[in-house]
Amino acid sequence: MTTGSTPPPPAPAWRPEIDGVLERLLADHEPWPFEATPDRLYTRDDLYAGFGEGGLQASADWAIYLRAEVSGRPPVPPTLALGHRLHDHGITIALDGFRAGRQLVGVMGGHALRRGSPGYHQAVALGRVVADAGFCLTTGGGPGAMEAANLGAAASRVDDATLAGWLERLAASPGFYDDADGFAAAALAVADELTEPVESLAVPTWFYGHEPTNPFATHIAKYFANSVREDGLLAICTSGIVFTKGGPGTAQELFQDAAQNAYRTVGPASPMILLDPPDDPTWWERTGLETALRAVFLDGDGNPRPGADRVHRVADVADVPALLDADR
């Protein structure tokens, strides 16, 4: 089975020093279920280790989630909090290495999108066309639209009949909240048959660790700090971001990306593409999101801010590649 693992790079110069600090700090503490100084991105095999013995709650991913700081839980001890920060720093360094020479295109959308729905099939098709155009598809790594897009990218060289069969099998476990273990098992079974997946990236977080990381991305940059993950996910997609129908999280990403573009906080503005839902084509105007988005790209005198001309709206995924920045 090919999981997209890459050989670890040479240890950074600061690593021995950090490891020495950790040895002293952790001398009287139980071992953590994660590496505090990772030197590579995760694969699905890393996160789903143990799943076969007892489902999601027996997996390595769940063990790490239980040590994450999540709203409603008591704050983690200071030493563990330091471990979280060091971990996320290591992931960022590994992610920077992965990004070199690749053009990343983001797909943002609802985590609750059900398998078998028109929107799910559209996100699969979107992933395929983005990967076919030579871009590295990037998502937030969760279920729903994120899973569908990573699947489409991974299977972009698979024939239509095989992909249709996989989609039919996945639709038998349509939602994570219906049966979490069955939902994850269906995805893992399909992922195992993707022996030569086209590479793509997922950037999930243990803040939402109760949702399974989708296993279709070949490279997974999973973070403890959702704020670091959220801002960074949008910042690295410099070739453009496609926004699909979603909830508050997708709306947050939409306007956070707009702020990055308008204020040029991560360089020149990149494309923002609003994709019409196939079963709700007026959704962007009905919700007011498109109107509000275009409004924030105007200053107090009505002049366009940087990025105003990078906002597009399309109904067909085939129109997306031509709107992306191929040189970033």
Where exactly are the structural domains of the chain? 96-323
What's the mean pLDDT in 271-297? 98
The pTM score is 0.91
| pLDDT of 321 strictly over 70 | yes
CA 107/CA 230 separation, integer angstroms? 13
pLDDT on residue 77: 87
Number of C-beta neighbours around residue 80 at 10 A: 18
Contact 289, 254 (CB under 8 A): yes
CA dihedral 100, 102, 106, 107 (to 10 degrees): -140
Between β-strands 272-275 and 311-314, what pairing exists: parallel, antiparallel or unpaired? parallel
18 vs 287, higher pLDDT:
287
Number of C-beta neighbours around residue 105 at 10 A: 35
Of 3.40.190.10, 3.40.47.10, 3.40.50.720, 3.40.50.450, the CATH number of 96-323 is 3.40.50.450
pLDDT on residue 328: 87
- Per-residue pLDDT of 227-250, as tens digits, reads 999 999 999 999 999 999 999 999
pLDDT bin (cut points 50, 70, 90) of residue 72 is confident
